[in-house]
């Protein structure tokens, strides 16, 4: 079946602009996660949705970052007034069974964001 998909695959923007990154999770997965991966580092958690609500947004670095999942499926990560330090690969993951013993997260291909 289809995996997690993310669009666009690459996004180049200028400092100060607004960007939206989209994630389409695996069908039927109720949990959705956003991570950010800088060059040479492991992914860092940003936010986790259970259904439509953000269950944990403790990883969002500041109020320029916001994410929504209005219908409990597709999610959009929104970044306002982008800064060069926001450049990274933004990864989305989804899982079927949050709160159970095995909560395996399946990752999408990522969106590479470059802020000039």
Partner 1 sequence: ELKVEQNPLFLSMQEGKNYTIYCNYSTTSDRLYWYRQDPGKSLESLFVLLSNGAVKQEGRLMASLDTKARLSTLHITAAVHDLSATYFCAVDRGGSEKLVFGKGTKLTVNP
Among 41, 52, 80, 114, binds partner 1 (CB under 8 A): 41
109 binds partner 1 per the rule CB under 8 A:
yes
51 binds partner 1 per the rule CB under 8 A:
no
Give the other-Cβ count within 10 Å of 6's Cβ: 21
Give the other-Cβ count within 10 Å of 89's Cβ: 19
Q: Please state the closest distance from residue 14 (CB atom) to partner 1, in A.
A: 24
CB 15 within 8 A of CB 82: yes
Beta bridge partners of 91: 35
Interface residues with partner 1 (CB under 8 A)?
Answer: 31, 33, 35, 40-45, 48, 50, 55-56, 58-59, 91, 95, 98-99, 101-110
């Amino acid at each position: 079946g289809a995996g997690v998909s993310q669009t666009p695959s690459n996004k180049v923007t200028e400092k100060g602009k607004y960007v939206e990154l989209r994630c389409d999770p695996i069908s039927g997965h109720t949990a959705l996660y956003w991570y950010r991966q800088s060059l040479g580092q492991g992914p860092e958690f940003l936010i986790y949705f259970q259904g439509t609500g953000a269950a944990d947004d403790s990883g969002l670095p500041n109020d320029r970052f916001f994410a929504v999942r209005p219908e409990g499926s597709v999610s959009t990560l929104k970044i306002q007034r982008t800064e060069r330090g926001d450049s990274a690969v933004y990864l989305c993951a989804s899982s079927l069974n949050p709160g159970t013993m095995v909560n395996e997260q399946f990752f999408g291909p990522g969106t590479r964001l470059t802020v000039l």
